[in-house]
């Protein structure tokens, strides 16, 4: 069957790579894709904002399943439009996507259905928000209600920082209308883990646990990014804790969504803080995580396309009855190679070298994000050029987390482009915990 993947990151590359191994899959298209995805899929340069054009493409190319990578088209209702046209699509509809697109929606749902999360207040007036901060004190967390490309959260150590965040979000409108409302919430402490599940609203099948590294520099210093590396599984989440997260967070959320009259089909991602009082939700995403996917998917032995079809068609119980998902028992780690300056301003168009050497290392996978194909000036040969902030995501598998990390960093060291930077401490905290 013919499959269409929407998106252009390393997450989508990992999905396309895995789908290309499916016995059910005859051809993959990716819109818009990136330099590396062209190896497994035909990349088509269309906009992800024009749903009618995407529907026409899916019809013309006889696509059996469209898979949505990023949150923006989900929040804008792409699933509803595809379904109106009787086209199968993997991902939640617009109402369900509010779990990520509106943090206020998510927080009220959690409150109503007794899902553990930080205590919070919602404000639509900056003066009220500032008064509350003055009374409540710091540390606290200021969050824009809507989508803000992963930048809408400020963990404020002081009252001044929190007030500044309110001014920037609500008065200077740095995120436009996304911060018409803000949440001010209790600052939680602990370690973070990402728990992703497939659900068709009837059945839930968890993916393997993982941990992201959001800050740009080693030792969790510097600003938040889209994610600088991940590994799976994480020893932070024992079998018992996993069950607790499923019971108290995942099942309650899906039951709550259903009680609100909403159907949820796709991946549900819970960002969890493991506090001394138990696991609490930091955020929900309505899609695969990036870079978590690049650490999880290489460990998946089952057919991804089969599972996605079952999710989209509401037949996940069949997958469950036939034993659920099968995982490689090895660890997988991934390290993101970013452009100099990311997550701030960065240059593009730098030649990337060392990709083949990295790829040839056993148990290493190179997933592209911000890359495009260019030509070497001297001889016209094909080269990969940088075209985004997060450029590559290198994944390595190993029998232990240490071995996975060794493989990954061995490959990362082969890669070069002007300004390259990456964290050197992915998985370090987990290693310290287990050794």
Q: Using CB under 6 A, list all residues that contact ligand AMP.
A: 118, 141, 153, 155, 185-188, 192, 214, 224, 271, 282-283
Nearer to ligand GLY by Cβ, of 287 and 414: the residue is 287
CB of residue 161 vs ligand AMP: minimum separation in angstroms? 13
* Shortest CB 74 distance to ligand AMP, Å: 16
Tell me which of ligand GLY, ligand AMP, none is bound by residue 289, counting a contact when its beta carbon lies within the kind-specific cut-off of 5 to 8 angstroms.
ligand GLY
- DSSP calls for 365-408: EEEESSEEEEE-TTT--EEEEE-SSEEEEEEEEESSHHHHHHHH
The vertex-129 CA angle with 280 and 168, nearest 5°, equals: 95
What's the token pair of residue 178?
A: 């996304």
Q: State the minimum distance, in angstroms, from the CB of residue 216 to ligand AMP.
A: 13
Q: How far apart (Å, rounded) are the C-alpha atoms in residues 370 and 398?
A: 26
Nearest residue to ligand GLY on Cβ basis: 289
Q: CB under 8 Å to 69, separation ≥6 — which residues?
A: 5, 6, 7, 8, 9, 11, 12, 15, 287, 288
Nearer CB in complex with ligand AMP: 46/122: 122
The residue length of the chain stands at: 435
Residue 33: what are its φ and ψ, rounded to 5°?
75, -170
Q: Tell me which of ligand GLY, ligand AMP, none is bound by residue 278, counting a contact when its beta carbon lies within the kind-specific cut-off of 5 to 8 angstroms.
A: none
| Three-state SS sequence of 67-111 | EECCHHHHHCCHHHHHHHCCCCEECCCHHHHHHHHCHHHHHHHHH
Closest CA to 405 of 213, 217, 216, 230: 230
Q: Which is nearer to ligand GLY, 285 or 387 (CB)?
A: 285
**Among ligand GLY, ligand AMP, none, residue 282 binds (CB under 5-8 Å by kind):** ligand AMP
Nearer to ligand GLY, 230 or 309 (CB): 230
- The two tokens of residue 115 are 């899902």
Nearer to ligand AMP, 293 or 307 (CB): 293
118 binds, among ligand GLY, ligand AMP, none (CB under 5 to 8 A by kind): ligand AMP
Please choose which of ligand GLY, ligand AMP, none residue 292 contacts, taking the beta carbon within 5 to 8 angstroms, the exact cut-off set by kind: ligand GLY
Binding footprint of ligand GLY on the chain (CB under 6 A): 150, 212, 227, 285, 289-290, 292
Choose the contact partner of 263 out of ligand GLY, ligand AMP, none; CB within 5 to 8 A by kind. Answer: none
Cβ-closest residue to ligand AMP?
Answer: 283
CA atoms within 13 A on the CB side of 421: 15
Q: How far is the CB of 182 from ligand AMP (least distance, A)?
A: 12
Query: Which listed option, ligand GLY, ligand AMP, none, makes contact with residue 107 (CB within 5 to 8 Å by class)?
Result: none
């Amino acid at each position: 069957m013919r499959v269409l993947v929407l998106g252009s990151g390393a997450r989508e590359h990992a999905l396309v790579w895995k789908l290309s191994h499916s016995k059910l899959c005859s051809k993959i298209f990716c819109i818009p894709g990136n330099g590396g995805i062209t190896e497994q899929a035909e990349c088509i340069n269309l906009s992800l904002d024009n749903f009618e054009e995407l529907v026409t493409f899916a019809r013309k190319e006889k696509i059996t399943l469209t898979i949505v990578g990023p949150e923006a088209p989900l929040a804008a209702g792409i699933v509803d439009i595809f379904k109106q046209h009787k086209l199968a699509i993997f991902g939640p509809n617009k109402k369900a996507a509010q779990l990520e697109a509106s943090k206020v929606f998510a927080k009220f749902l959690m409150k109503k259905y007794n899902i553990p999360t930080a205590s919070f207040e919602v404000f639509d007036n900056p003066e009220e928000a500032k008064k509350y901060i003055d009374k409540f004190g710091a540390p606290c967390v200021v969050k824009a209600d809507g989508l803000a490309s992963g930048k809408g959260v400020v963990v404020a150590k002081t009252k001044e920082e929190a007030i500044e965040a309110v001014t920037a979000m609500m008065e200077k409108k740095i995120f436009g209308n996304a911060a018409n409302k803000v949440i001010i919430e209790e600052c939680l402490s602990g370690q973070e883990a990402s728990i992703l599940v497939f659900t068709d609203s009837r059945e839930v099948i968890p993916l393997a646990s993982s941990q992201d590294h959001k800050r740009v520099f080693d030792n969790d210093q510097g600003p938040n990014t889209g994610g600088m590396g991940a590994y799976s599984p994480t020893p932070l989440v024992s079998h018992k804790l996993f069950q607790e997260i499923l019971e108290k967070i995942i099942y309650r959320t899906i039951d709550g969504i259903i009680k609100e009259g909403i159907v949820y089909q796709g991946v549900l991602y819970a960002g969890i803080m493991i506090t001394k009082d138990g696991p609490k939700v930091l955020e929900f995403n309505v899609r695969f995580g990036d870079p978590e996917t690049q650490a999880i998917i290489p460990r998946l032995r089952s057919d991804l396309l089969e599972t996605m079809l079952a999710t989209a068609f509401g037949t996940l119980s069949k997958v469950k009855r036939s034993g659920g998902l099968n995982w490689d028992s090895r660890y997988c780690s991934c390290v993101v190679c970013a452009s100099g300056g990311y997550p701030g301003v960065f240059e593009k168009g730098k030649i990337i070298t060392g990709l083949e050497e990295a790829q040839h290392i056993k148990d290493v996978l190179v997933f592209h994000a911000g890359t495009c194909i260019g030509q070497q000036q001297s001889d016209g040969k094909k080269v990969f050029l940088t075209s985004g902030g997060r450029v590559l995501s290198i994944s390595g598998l190993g029998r232990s987390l240490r071995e996975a990390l060794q493989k990954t960093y061995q490959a990362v060291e082969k890669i070069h482009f002007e300004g390259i930077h990456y964290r050197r401490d992915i998985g370090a905290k987990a290693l310290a915990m287990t050794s």
